[in-house]
Amino acid sequence: MEVIVPSNYRNKLLPETTEIAIKLIKDYFQDSLSKALNLRRVTAPLFVTAASGLNDNLNGIERPVSFRSPALSNEEIQIVHSLAKWKRLKLGDYEIAPGYGLYTDMNAIRADEELDNLHSLYVDQWDWEQVILPSQRTTRYLHEVVDKIYRAIRETELMITGKFPNMKAFLPEKITYVHAQDLLDRYPNLTAKQREIEICREHGAVFIQGIGAKLSDGKKHDGRAPDYDDWSTTDENGKIGLNGDLMVWNPVLETAFEISSMGIRVDPQALNLQLDIEDCSERKQLPFHSRLLEGRLPASIGGGIGQSRLCMLLLQKAHIGEVQSSLWPEDQVKTCATAGINLL
């Protein structure tokens, strides 16, 4: 929970100007994203019932914030961790055609998060999902979508630096693609986090594919739930996994910086396999899972894009608390105040 304090950190925008810039970024980017991927905005739930199986269990160890309502027979209700499964249900319910999809504002509370420059108890992101054809469940299509998302990010950066000339654009023109196994082969003596830092330092913007399956060293690059991203299918290049993380080099913090986790979603075969691998086959009886296994949900691709993360990056802030209002340990608050990092 240590805070990184960049040497000679200087806030380039006053707090009141920062608030204006945050709105500019959010409005511009979500409009660019929706046009690039043919998405329409929908209203999303803040909470779901535990019995529905719709909540994202992330790495399987994070506790959802929950409560019970007498009006709903005291059934357990959980604040969402993400809307990965809920979005796919909506694609089916709305009978959205291939090539089109939806996005929404997702707000979550992650009670077990370790708080630092990048992590908060409060999570806000654009959750999006697009219907695809079964024939598009390929790395090629995955990369086409990543290119569109990255282009929208760069266009947003150029917009905001154009309005605030004291900030200079730093993102590279193109994003580099690398598989997690290739990263391990290249840096066998580094941890997964260290590998991310090195590859982002070298290329500036990277999509790391194949998150969730075990690599040749018997370890996962990072965890991924078994019931939304497809991390078990072998792609057309002989690589395992049709998902990944979009990461960039953050010049303020001088470290790798994740913007988005996304991927092509499981089909019935991949869901069956992944639930068995993760020893949670009992989920096959839940409403979402049974509907998918019966072939009653469309093929899709989707992900989440951090709203505060994107604002923090493009406004060249040192702490996520400079672009969102949350709670922080008192020692972090004091450290930030001393360093001129203005927490909202």
Angle ∠(121,124,130) on CA atoms, nearest 5: 140
> How far is Cα 303 from Cα 125, in angstroms, rounded to an integer?
10
Strand partners, 78: 48, 66
Report which of 137, 133, 45, 153 is spatially closest to residue 89, judged by C-alpha positions. 45
What the block records as the tokens of 38 is 């043919």
Nearest-angstrom CA–CA distance, 69 and 99? 39
Q: What's 240's DSSP letter? A: B
Beta-strand pair 205-209/176-179: parallel
**Residues 195/183, Cβ–Cβ less than 8 Å:** yes
8 A C-beta contact, residue 181 and residue 216: yes
Sign of CA dihedral 313, 316, 319, 320: negative
What is the amino acid identity at position 215? Answer: L
Helix (H, G, I), strand (E, B) or coil at 331: helix
The C-alpha atoms of residue 86 and residue 77 are separated, in whole angstroms, by: 15
Query: CB 4: neighbour CB atoms within 10 A?
Result: 17
The secondary structure element, H or E, covering residue 33 is helix 15-37
Active-site residues: which are they?
A: 56, 110, 125, 245, 258, 261
43 Cβ partners below 8 Å, 6+ apart? 104
Find, among 6, 82, 5, 21, the residue nearest to 308 by Cα.
21
Cα distance between residue 323 and residue 122, in whole Å:
12
